[in-house]
Structure 1
Amino acid sequence: MERIIEEIREDLSRRIAVTADRLADRTLAEDPAYAALLGRAELRERIHHNLRQAVEGLVLGVRGLPVELADARATGTLRAEQGLPLASLLRTYRRGGRLVWQALNEAVAAHDPAALPRLLPAAAVLWDVLDQLTDAVADAYRRTEAARWDRDRERRAALLDALLDGAGPSDGPAVSEAAAQLGLPERGRFAVVVLGAGGSGGSGEPAASGLRVLWRIRADGETGLVELGHHPLESVRELLGPLGARAGVSPVVETPGDLARARWLAALALRTVPASGGPCTALLDERLPTALVASQAELAGRLRQVVLGPVLALPAEDRRVLLNTLGTWLTCQGSTTYAAQRLYCHRNTVSNRLRRLEQLTGRTLSDPAHVVELALAHAAVLQRAAGEGAAPGAKPAGRAPRRSG
């Protein structure tokens, strides 16, 4: 077998050169990925080299020697770095293998047709060589692609940190450059989402709602930068619903430089959601009173004591009944009738409880200013209860980032 290949080597070389021309033309005509990446001369030269390598691999295989795979690995690495799809690369390799076998048969037939049957054992050797070459190409490609993906992920994480942490002036070059590299417009409609413990976002691909979200996972939780486009802020609920998580959502901001502030506001919105409750998406603008209390822990404590101190000093059951009645009455927009229906008691029972609360606090529910005080104090009580019931080790959100300028 080796002698036959040596006898036809010159003719086979000519046929391989012609095959390289044909395969290069076919590849450029049928594969847009190759056409966008390489010119004909470069592609033809590379194909010619690979076809010769397959022939040399066949000679080595017939001799029982190992096939040289370094060039195949280098090709896989290079094409992965260039972004050529692996399917395109492997398709060209496989086509080349079939054409090598065809050229080999034609060369043997032209030299000595009677020798064709002696060529058959070479088929198994050639396919084994081609398998080794394609495996080496694919393995190198996948390794390089994985390493590149890791680099891209780390780079994107650093860019997101630059926007969400607010390092430097909000209108500085670091912010604008990070936004540009992430594909964000200089002006648009953005929001930030902060997920509670155990929540998980996803990829940066457009969600089913049509929103684009860039997720950032860190030790202190998971944050999503949402590019809203023309979608309303409320559509974020649709986005987060399948996650089954507690989440806080910032108001809409218009520039990437405002995203650090938006992240702080989203974290503040999350703090208005009870840790012991189920999945909930809290939009900050819908929870401003509660968020106000959550943002000022020291004043919230003072508010609890000054406004509701006498109620909090009651025995546990009395305290629970009065606070629950107050919260229900506030939720029902001051309707004693609706509050009674929710509490499954008579309207007069609710009225009696509210009168007792007025007596204890010195506040009158007919006075709007007093109602505001009671509502905020009640929110402060709930905040404290949520904090005490939170998982051990839970930390409050940090301070608002300092505004530049």
Structure 2
Amino acid sequence: MERIIEEIREDLSRRIASAADRLAERTLAEDPSYAALLGRAELRERIHHNLRQSVEGLVRSVRGLPVELSDARATGTLRAEQGLPLASLLRTYRRGGRLLWQTLTEAVTAHDPAALPRLLPAASALWDVLDQMTDAVAEAYRCTEAARCERDRERRAALLDALLDGAGLPDGPAVSEAAAQLGLAERGRFAVVVLGSGGTQGSGGGGVPGGSGRPGADPTASGLRVLWRIRADGETGLVDLGHHPLESVRELLDPLGVRAGVSPVVEAPGDLARARWLAALALRTAPVSGGPFTALLDERLPTALVASQAELAGRLRQVVLGPVLALPAEDCRVLLNTLGTWLACQGSTTYAAGRLFCHRNTVSNRLRRLEHLTGRTLSDPAHVVELALAHAAVLQRAAGEPAPAGPRPPGRPSRRNR
């Protein structure tokens, strides 16, 4: 086999040069990816080199030597860095392999038709060489692509952190550059989502950090673009609302089955750090029991006010509800649960009784006892505000600690039954 190749080497070299011309023309005509990346001369030279390398690989294989694959790996790395699709690269390699076999048989036939049968055993060796070269190209490409994607993820994550952490001045170049590179407009409608612990874990992209989606959430279903960021301190999403109402964020989060806090709408990327803080505050107002809950800050401002002032919240609990908290545990739980339910039912004793599965008079008696202990009357709006805020402070006292809690707020009751 080696002797035949040596005998036809000069003719084979001319034929390979011609084959490289034809394959370059076909590739540029049929593959827009190559046409956008390489000129004819550069592509032709690369194909010509690969074909000659394949012949040398065949000779080495026949001699029992390993095939030299460094050029193939370099090509895979280069094309991945240039962004050429792997399918395009492998298709050209496969076409080159078939064209090389055709060229080799034509050269042998022209030199000595009788020697053609002696070429056939080399077919399996040639295809093995081509397979090794193709595998080396693909492996180098995939390794480079994986590294590039990781760099892109890290870069996008850093850009997202710059926005959510408020790196630099709100209107400084760091924030504006980060927003531009993430595809965010200088002025728009944005919100931030902070998820509570126990959310489904993902890996950003779709779930990619800094990506546009996450497992379990389909931003296209709601028409929203979401950039998720997973960090040690929790999972955060930057929502580009466009023309959609803020309420659509709740529709996006419902399938996730998690506790979540949602900031108000902000109009500039420089305001996203503040929005993130407000979203985290909104999350602190979401009930820790009772299943998934999405807390929009503007719907829970009184509770958020309590959550934002831990020291004052503690003082409020003690001053307003101190006598109730000093009761035996079961008595305390019953009174706080009754107060919370009455507040959730908008002051309707009848509805509160229905939710508590007791008689209306029982609820009235409990409320009168609470009024006596606290020195506040439920007929005074100012006192009701104090009791409601103090009750919220009790519920927020310790996030992971069991605390007396009323049921989730019901739908708005009719005032006729109060």
Displacement after TM superposition at 1:222 (Å): 1.5
Structure-2 separation of matches of 1:332 and 1:116: 94
2:288 equivalent among 275, 283, 292 = 275
TM-score (norm 2): 0.90
Please name the residue that 1:205 is paired with. 212
Any residues of structure 2 matched to 1:197-346 within 5 Å, and which? 197-199=197-199, 200=201, 202-203=207-208, 204-205=211-212, 207=219, 208-346=221-359
**Is residue 358 from structure 1 mapped to residue 368 from structure 2 by the alignment?**
no
Displacement after TM superposition at 1:275 (Å): 3.4
Structure-2 separation of matches of 1:217 and 1:154: 12
From the superposition, tell whether residues 92 and 71 of structure 1 become closer, same or farther in structure 2 (CA, over 3 Å).
same
Matched to 2:360, the amino acid is: R
Please name the residue that 1:157 is paired with. 157
Number of residue pairs the alignment of both structures matches: 390
Contact 2:191 2:266 in 1 (8 A): yes
Point out which structure has higher relative CO (alpha carbons under 8 A, 6+ apart). Answer: 1
Unaligned runs of 5+ in 1: 391-405
From the superposition, tell whether residues 188 and 225 of structure 1 become closer, same or farther in structure 2 (CA, over 3 Å).
same
Greater shift after overlay, 314-323 or 252-261? 314-323
Please name the residue that 1:16 is paired with. 16
Contact 1:276 1:389 in 2 (8 A): no
Matched to 1:216, the amino acid is: R
Secondary structure of the residue aligned to 1:384 is coil
Structure-2 separation of matches of 1:7 and 1:212: 65
Structure-2 separation of matches of 1:228 and 1:34: 38
Structure-1 separation of matches of 2:336 and 2:275: 33
Displacement after TM superposition at 1:277 (Å): 4.4
Contact 1:276 1:386 in 2 (8 A): no
Greater shift after overlay, 275-284 or 221-230? 275-284
From the superposition, tell whether residues 324 and 389 of structure 1 become closer, same or farther in structure 2 (CA, over 3 Å).
closer
Matched to 1:320, the amino acid is: R
Please name the residue that 1:71 is paired with. 71
Matched to 1:59, the amino acid is: V
Displacement after TM superposition at 1:71 (Å): 0.6
Percent identical pairs in the alignment equals 89
Structure-1 separation of matches of 2:76 and 2:362: 79
Unaligned runs of 5+ in 2: 214-218, 404-418
Contact 1:275 1:389 in 2 (8 A): no
Please name the residue that 1:35 is paired with. 35
CA distances 1:188-222 after superposition (whole Å, capped 9, x unpaired): 11111111223235232352323222222221112
Matched to 2:234, the amino acid is: G
Structure-2 separation of matches of 1:291 and 1:284: 7
Displacement after TM superposition at 1:278 (Å): 2.7
Greater shift after overlay, 265-274 or 252-261? 265-274
Any residues of structure 2 matched to 1:169-180 within 5 Å, and which? 169-180=169-180
Q: CA RMSD in A?
A: 1.5
TM-score (norm 1): 0.93
Secondary structure of the residue aligned to 1:333 is coil
Please name the residue that 2:216 is paired with. none
Structure-2 separation of matches of 1:21 and 1:254: 56
Greater shift after overlay, 28-37 or 161-170? 28-37
